[in-house]
């Protein structure tokens, strides 16, 4: 049976809170999106919003934007939504501010808003490898997280002393192009103008910000210039895993604490079984999260499962994962198994095994999903592709686009999908992936398919954030994998612990963690590795059992009840 719930006491408390400045601490699976929809409903019903003023709801992704809009429609009528609510992601809000008020910092209408990964395309034109391209992205991102002008960006890049980065930035400004990294920087600059900021404060009587832990200090400044002491922030410090994108959860939380009037904390999970939550709770000393209890503990068959399995090599691990998934899906064919790793590379052996022809329905989240019109276009392009011509092309993306033998698509969503496909193909070619292998990875369907289709799902910890699976296999609890070898500072190790916690918290019924004695290096050598330091915490979790004991649980489980809860 699927759990049909009335609003919880915490959700109702959030809905009815009279304070405009509110912090909602909501760990994974606690009903945060529902709570935010109810919060918006409550603010409207309390008369906190009066036409023509509106509520501004901010998310990070289009998917999160669609989620909250969908949930909002369950509680608020369409007319009220149209009159009182504006939903943006941060880049959308930034673009709106720049288009309306860019003139105050010298950005006119002739400047082009980003339609694609312009920096990536420039790196491909220069024939830069993955490492070089990532360094340029990191240089630009680091500098542009400050509230500085284009001229100050160029000066800062001189100090970075990387000529190619400076060259790309000079080309961008000379051609009057805006990239995604420029949007929040320029919006932040514009809002330093008190007159402009006051216009937005007058237009938006309150704000709702989803996933506060993912905010950069720059994005927080944008929010606070518009909604100081009138913002509802929701999120969870323990899910702060985006430092590579400039997020700084502790600094942001400290900044938020200076303006809010009230904090409401969830402590019950509606997603996960007791055994899964025990593992997540065991990581609290590292993550700083909230201890969770299952909202419906007695309804979970057998309290769920938490187990571990050790292997000599990654090939053994991959074969076992395939065997386990096959057996589980035979018992529960409508369920979803998420196989998560810290990086795509750590999952590569398993991916290769599946590509060799495992008799499983499996889905790789790293690749785009094309619709039924675009997928044949991509396949046709690859059929006409000549690698030698591609290698000699001055503009790789333009060369790939020239191989499309159909009328240019005019629908914006189709254009976006085609552009994403071209960039994906270019990246794989740059990595040395054979053309036929790329063709075989092309799939089509509704973009939402991955969110609901049964079978095995392959993804990374970052990609998995915000998703949900019936079962989760976490690969690679080894030093150098989880935590990643690049993590050296205390802050970096803390974030690695949070990534592990996020991966485990995707599971509803059970989590299986794996590790190997030997790992495969990118250059092909096998080296011995130590167990992850985080295993010590997991071993303290109640009911975290070795695989031999887990087999007994699985053989005796009530699979009819388990399937009914999907």
Percent of the chain with pLDDT over 70: 95
User: What residue ranges in 168-246 does DSSP mark as E strands?
Assistant: 204-210, 231-235
Tokens 């080894």 correspond to: 478
Number of domains in the chain: 4
Tell me if 184 is assigned to some domain. Answer: no
Tell me if 147 is assigned to some domain. Answer: yes
Question: Is 293 in the same domain as 168?
Answer: no
Query: 468: domain CATH number?
Result: 3.40.50.300
**Domain closes at, from 240, 266, 292:** 266
Question: Is 378 in the same domain as 363?
Answer: no
Question: Is 326 in the same domain as 458?
Answer: yes
Kindly give the pairing relationship between strand 518-520 and strand 526-528: antiparallel
226: number of Cβ within 10 Å:
24
pLDDT bracket for residue 368 (50, 70, 90): confident
> Which among 458, 451, 461, 545 is positioned nearest to 505, based on CA atoms?
461
Question: Is 554 in the same domain as 466?
Answer: yes
Tell me if 340 is assigned to some domain. Answer: yes
Question: Is 260 in the same domain as 285?
Answer: no
User: What residue ranges in 355-504 does DSSP mark as E strands?
Assistant: 362-364, 455-460, 469-474
State which residues form the domain around 127. 115-177
Question: Is 172 in the same domain as 206?
Answer: no
Question: Is 206 in the same domain as 236?
Answer: yes
Tell me if 508 is assigned to some domain. Answer: yes
Question: Is 353 in the same domain as 498?
Answer: yes
Question: Is 20 in the same domain as 64?
Answer: yes
Which of 18-32, 213-227, 423-437 is least confident?
423-437
Residue 190 three-state SS: helix
Question: Is 165 in the same domain as 195?
Answer: no
Tell me if 110 is assigned to some domain. Answer: no
**Domain closes at, from 441, 475, 497:** 441
The pLDDT of residue 154 is above 80: yes
Tell me if 231 is assigned to some domain. Answer: yes
**Domain closes at, from 441, 469, 496:** 441
The pLDDT of residue 28 is above 50: yes
Q: What is the pLDDT of residues 190-243, one digit of tens each?
A: 999 999 999 999 999 999 999 999 999 999 999 999 999 999 999 999 999 999
Between 3 and 493, residue with greater pLDDT: 493
The string of DSSP letters for 265-279 reads E--EESS--HHHHHH
Percent of the chain with pLDDT over 90: 71
Cis check: omega of the bond before 419, within 30 degrees of 0: no
Question: Is 428 in the same domain as 542?
Answer: no
Tell me if 385 is assigned to some domain. Answer: yes
- Where do the H-state alpha helices sit in 228-373? 249-257, 274-282, 284-287, 314-331, 348-355
Tell me if 19 is assigned to some domain. Answer: yes
Q: What is the pLDDT of residues 48-92, one digit of tens each?
A: 998 899 999 999 887 788 889 999 999 999 999 999 999 999 999
Q: What is the pLDDT of residues 469-493, one digit of tens each?
A: 999 999 999 999 999 999 999 999 9
pTM for the whole structure: 0.88
Q: What is the pLDDT of residues 274-313, one digit of tens each?
A: 999 999 999 999 999 999 999 876 688 899 999 999 999 9
Averaged pLDDT, 161-168? 96
Contact 255, 289 (CB under 8 A): no
The pLDDT of residue 4 is above 60: no
> Which among 368, 366, 430 is positioned nearest to 396, based on CA atoms?
430
Question: Is 149 in the same domain as 48?
Answer: no
pLDDT in the model for residue 416 = 66
R_g (Cα) of the chain, nearest Å: 24
Q: What is the pLDDT of residues 302-321, one digit of tens each?
A: 999 999 999 999 999 999 99
Within 13 Å of residue 408, how many CA atoms lie on the same side as its CB? 5
* The 469-474 sheet, strands edge to edge: 362-364, 455-460, 336-341, 469-474, 507-516, 305-311, 544-546
Tokens 């340029």 correspond to: 136
């Amino acid at each position: 049976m699927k759990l049909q719930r009335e609003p919880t006491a915490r959700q109702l408390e959030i809905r009815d809170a009279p304070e405009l400045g509110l912090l909602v601490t909501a760990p994974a699976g606690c009903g945060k999106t529902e709570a935010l929809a109810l919060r918006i409903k409550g603010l409207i019903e309390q008369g906190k919003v009066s036409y023509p003023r509106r509520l501004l709801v901010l998310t990070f992704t289009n998917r999160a934007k669609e989620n909250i809009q969908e949930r909002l429609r369950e509680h608020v009528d369409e007319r009220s939504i149209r009159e009182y609510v504006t939903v943006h992601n941060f880049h959308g809000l930034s673009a709106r501010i720049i288009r309306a008020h860019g003139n105050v910092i010298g950005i006119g209408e002739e400047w082009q808003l980003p339609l694609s990964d312009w920096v990536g395309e420039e790196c491909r034109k220069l024939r830069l490898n993955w490492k070089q391209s990532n360094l340029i992205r990191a240089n630009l991102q680091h500098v542009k997280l400050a509230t500085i002008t284009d001229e100050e960006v160029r000066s800062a890049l001189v100090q970075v002393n990387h000529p190619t980065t400076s060259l790309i930035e000079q080309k961008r400004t000379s051609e009057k192009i805006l990239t995604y990294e420029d949007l929040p920087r320029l919006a932040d600059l514009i809002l330093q103008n008190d007159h402009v900021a006051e216009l937005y404060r007058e237009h938006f009587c309150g704000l709702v910000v989803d996933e506060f832990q993912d905010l950069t200090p720059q994005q927080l400044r944008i929010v606070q210039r518009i909604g100081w002491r009138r913002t509802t922030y929701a999120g969870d410090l323990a899910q702060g895993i985006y430092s590579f994108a400039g997020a700084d959860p502790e600094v942001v939380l400290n900044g938020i604490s200076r303006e809010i009037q009230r904090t409401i904390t969830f402590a019950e999970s509606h997603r996960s079984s007791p055994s899964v939550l025990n593992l997540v709770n065991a990581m609290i000393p590292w993550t700083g999260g909230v201890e969770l209890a299952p909202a419906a503990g007695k309804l979970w068959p057998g309290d769920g499962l938490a187990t571990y399995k050790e292997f000599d090599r990654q090939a053994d691990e991959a074969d076992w994962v395939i065997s386990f998934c096959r057996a589980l899906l035979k018992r529960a064919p409508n369920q979803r198994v998420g196989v998560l790793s810290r990086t795509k590379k750590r999952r590569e052996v398993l991916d290769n095994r599946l590509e060799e022809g495992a008799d499983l329905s499996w889905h790789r989240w790293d690749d785009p999903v094309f619709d039924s019109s675009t997928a044949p276009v991509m396949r046709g392009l690859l059929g006409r592709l000549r690698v030698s011509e591609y290698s000699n092309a001055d503009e790789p993306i333009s060369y790939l686009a020239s191989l499309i033998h159909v009328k240019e698509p005019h629908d914006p969503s189709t254009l976006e999908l085609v552009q994403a496909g071209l960039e994906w193909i270019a990246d794989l070619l740059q990595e040395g992936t054979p053309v036929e292998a790329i063709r075989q990875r092309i799939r089509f369907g509704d973009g939402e398919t991955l969110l609901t289709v049964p079978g095995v799902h392959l993804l990374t910890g970052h990609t998995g954030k915000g998703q949900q699976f019936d079962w989760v296999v976490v690969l690679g609890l080894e030093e150098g994998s989880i935590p990643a070898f690049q993590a050296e500072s205390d802050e970096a190790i803390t974030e690695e612990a949070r990534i592990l916690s996020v991966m485990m918290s995707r599971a509803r019924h059970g989590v299986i963690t794996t590790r190997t004695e030997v790992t495969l290096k990118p250059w092909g050598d096998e080296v011995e590795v130590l167990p992850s330091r985080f295993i010590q915490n997991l071993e303290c979790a109640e009911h975290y059992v070795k695989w031999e004991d887990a087999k007994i649980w699985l053989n005796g489980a009530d699979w009819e009840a388990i399937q009914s809860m999907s």
